[in-house]
Amino acid sequence: MKLPQRAVLIVLLSAACVGCDRLGKVLARQALSESDKLSYLNDIFRLQYMENQGAFLSIWSNASENFRFWFFIISVGLFLAGVLIFLLTSKKISGAETAGLSLILGGGIGNLIDRVFNDGHVIDFMNVGIGSLRTGVFNVADIAISVGGVLLLACAFKNRETAS
């Protein structure tokens, strides 16, 4: 994929992720209080407002503020800059790999914006499950990161099969 086409794909996917994530978080903050839970599809899907100062499933939420700053803001920011540089300079990257990394980039930027402007916290508001078997509370950025990761895994398996 040539750089101009790749740049358009990167900008479109990343901007769409950030825009949808910001919109979801703004609406969640306005419509849900920390005590409200809206339940849909016989409680399979819930909307509930939560602020997470840790990582996935609140990992490291009890870590020191200094650690969280360096890990969740500085390290993540550097990682995302590295992803963008790789996307723009890589000579042999497919459209699917570009899409996967762009989703990770957009989702990462969405959560980084939260951390920078929301005192180190990320706004989460969606939860899925049946009965007591439930996911953690997540947001649109988390979905983009997960889909991007799955897409990269699929590309890796495809490339492995092609090389064999």
Cα 154 from Cα 151, distance rounded (Å): 5
**List of E strands, the chain:** 37-40, 45-52, 122-130, 133-134
Cα 25 from Cα 8, distance rounded (Å): 26
Residue from 21, 114, 119, 142 carrying the catalytic annotation: 142
142 is catalytic: yes
Give the C-alpha distances (Å, rounded to integers) separating 99 from 35, 45, 92, 155, 159.
37, 27, 14, 11, 16
119 is catalytic: no
- What's the first-to-final CA gap in the chain, in angstroms? 23
**Cα pseudo-dihedral 68, 74, 80, 82, rounded to 10:** -130
State the catalytic residues. Answer: 124, 142
